[in-house]
Structure 1
Amino acid sequence: MASSPNSLVATLIANPSQPVVTDEVIDLAARALGQETERAVLARGIAADLVVPATATAKAVETALRHALHGQPVDIVVQPQAARRKRLFLADMDSTMIGQECIDELADYVGLKAEVSEITERAMRGEIAFEPALRERVALLQNLPVGVVDEIIAKRITLTPGGQALVQTMRANGAYTCLVSGGFTLFTGPVAAKIGFHEHRSNHLIVESEKLAGVVEEPILGREAKLATLIELRSRFGLTAPETMAVGDGANDLAMLGEAGLGVAFHAKPAVAAAAHARIDHADLSALLYAQGYKLEEIVAASA
């Protein structure tokens, strides 16, 4: 059976450090979807596609696969075959493109990491509004020397595996990339440059006499601003919604994820993972390339 633009594609993705998408796992998944399932290996042991007629819903296909592969550390992304390759990519920074929450690292320098981390966690779970929570946390950083930012970036910030390859591969194939964060320009500037994003947008911390003033410039870039950025860039480049992709982990990412053609919850809070189009719980950020149908040999190696 030849696939058509109306087909659905289910991508099975494992973490490259644990390549469990074996022929046996692919066979098991294919049997769960029926005899008409086409198969294509994207990266041996790491990712494979199963193409099925769009007679079932994406949710039904995902449910069948999750049941069949229960207990396997395999992520499952089901989507329409059409417009699978994305031309616009927006990404959250903290706990998504990097492994840390920058404001928590700043708070550690004033001995308040535990208190600030608790507020951060509640905000990311959606239990409290993002904007007042950010103001509250920033106020605790008053008089912190701005020079500690460079030290944190050098010593504490780690890039999430697969992120550089993701952005650089999409750029090499004509996509526009934007790092959009509820964090701070002091961090998003260097991080965006290191990963290779076209641009970055985030909040401005007010600095006075080389110290943090404990105030963030208004208006705060939060949930609605992330959504507005996606709509603005989509309009600027004349793209349709299915041609866009966004990734994040927190409640302030939900509007952006919902508006994107493919909204991906990455190692996300439960409420975010449940609401997003797709969820990545096991793999690294290279999963977002395999979800677009890229093969291993098409991925641009991350720069040093």
Structure 2
Amino acid sequence: MAYVATLISNPSAPALTREAIHHARSVLPQAQDAVVLAPEVAVDIHFAPPLGADSQALADAVRGALGGAPLDVVVQMEAGRRKRLFLADMDSTMIGQECIDELADLVGLKAHVSAITERAMRGEIAFEPALRERVALLRGLPANVVGEVLRERIHLTPGAAELVGTMKANGAYTALVSGGFTLFTGNIAERLGFDEHRANTLLVDEGRFVGAVEEPILGREAKLATLVELRDQMHLAPSETMAVGDGANDLAMLCEAGLGVAYHAKPAVAAAAHARIDHGDLTALLFMQGYSRDDFRTA
């Protein structure tokens, strides 16, 4: 069965050399010549491993051969690489920030809230009670500060627009699924062109946050349920789906997807996901599907 190894570097600091490609090919059985997806940024190496090969072990072998070079390695079967359903986490994935931490900064509690966020994303504490605890600290904050936070503090992750735009241009359905808040996902989904967004609703009374979210909370199980629901609605095989995230509440969704990608993720998430991106930007998710830079589109 044909496999492909994709080597990816960060487009802002290209690091893919001929030497690195040679080292990668040296540990891949029956490796063919590299197919350039973006010069000095990404290549595909098609190869034919023995029956029952383990893609994670093969990826680890390539990483070992690269000797610590800042390159991501994704190994998968060649067939069915391009996905038809894409689910994405928002905070620290499609955007570079954690929205609740930025809101907490406005009431002088960013360090405290960030510490709770970090523990929840690492899976050290349960997501739902951690969210309730953090939201309670926002009580009394004017809800209209969200516009200011979006304008001044929230920035799209490099490659986000190309990722969503290219997948949509090629017929994929895209959903932004966040344990954060609809006040933010609505804006980010519109900016990036997602087909839909789902998140938690911050309760507001007389223009101020009441310090609570609408129940039930959208967390780990709800993200998983969204993937299954959309997949079934579209009559897709599991292999036709892709999901990306960075935290423990993304893990069930990542494991259920045909290709679950840990993006600059917490260690436990990176270890469990099908693929990990530690160096590249979000265009890495296009390269691993076999798209070249010339194929990229934006919404």
Please indicate the TM-score interval, normalised by the length of the shorter structure: over 0.9
Q: What SS does the aligned partner of 2:180 have?
A: strand
1:43-58 correspondence runs (5 A): 43-55=38-50, 56-58=53-55
In the TM superposition, what is the alpha-carbon distance from 1:24 to its structure 2 partner?
A: 2.2
User: Is residue 2:188 matched to residue 1:188?
Assistant: no
**How far apart in 1 are the matches of 2:23 and 2:63?**
11
In the TM superposition, what is the alpha-carbon distance from 1:31 to its structure 2 partner?
A: 1.4
User: Is residue 2:101 matched to residue 1:104?
Assistant: yes
Q: What SS does the aligned partner of 1:100 have?
A: coil
1:212-291 correspondence runs (5 A): 212-291=209-288
State the one-letter code of the partner of 2:94: M
State the one-letter code of the partner of 2:28: L
Kept in 1: contact 2:220–2:252 (CA 8 A): yes
Structure 1 runs (4+) greater than 4 angstroms displaced? none
Kept in 1: contact 2:31–2:45 (CA 8 A): no
Q: What is the TM-score when the length of structure 2 is the normalising length?
A: 0.97
In the TM superposition, what is the alpha-carbon distance from 1:167 to its structure 2 partner?
A: 0.2
1:13-92 correspondence runs (5 A): 13-55=8-50, 56-92=53-89
User: Is residue 2:127 matched to residue 1:122?
Assistant: no
Structure 2 spans left out of the alignment, 5+ residues: none
Structure 1 spans left out of the alignment, 5+ residues: 1-5
Instruction: Give 2:290's aligned residue.
Output: 293
**How far apart in 1 are the matches of 2:265 and 2:68?**
19
**How far apart in 2 are the matches of 1:118 and 1:269?**
14
In the TM superposition, what is the alpha-carbon distance from 1:20 to its structure 2 partner?
A: 1.4
Cα distance change, pair 36–113 in 1 and its aligned pair in 2 (3 A): closer
Task: Determine which of 167, 178, 195 is the counterpart of 1:170.
Answer: 167
Kept in 1: contact 2:30–2:49 (CA 8 A): no
Task: Determine which of 142, 147, 160 is the counterpart of 1:145.
Answer: 142
Q: What SS does the aligned partner of 2:242 have?
A: strand
In the TM superposition, what is the alpha-carbon distance from 1:51 to its structure 2 partner?
A: 1.2
In the TM superposition, what is the alpha-carbon distance from 1:60 to its structure 2 partner?
A: 2.5
State the one-letter code of the partner of 1:241: P
In the TM superposition, what is the alpha-carbon distance from 1:38 to its structure 2 partner?
A: 4.2
Task: Determine which of 89, 93, 105 is the counterpart of 2:90.
Answer: 93
Cα distance change, pair 20–298 in 1 and its aligned pair in 2 (3 A): same
Give the length in aligned residue pairs: 297
Kept in 2: contact 1:22–1:44 (CA 8 A): no
Q: What SS does the aligned partner of 1:33 have?
A: coil
State the one-letter code of the partner of 1:31: S
Q: What is the TM-score when the length of structure 1 is the normalising length?
A: 0.96
**How far apart in 1 are the matches of 2:31 and 2:202?**
56
Q: Give CA-to-partner distance per residue, 1:53-82, whole Å, 9 cap, x none.
A: 141321221121011002100000111111
User: Is residue 2:196 matched to residue 1:210?
Assistant: no
Kept in 2: contact 1:8–1:54 (CA 8 A): yes
Instruction: Give 1:3's aligned residue.
Output: none
Q: Give CA-to-partner distance per residue, 1:158-196, whole Å, 9 cap, x none.
A: 000000000000000000000000000000000110011
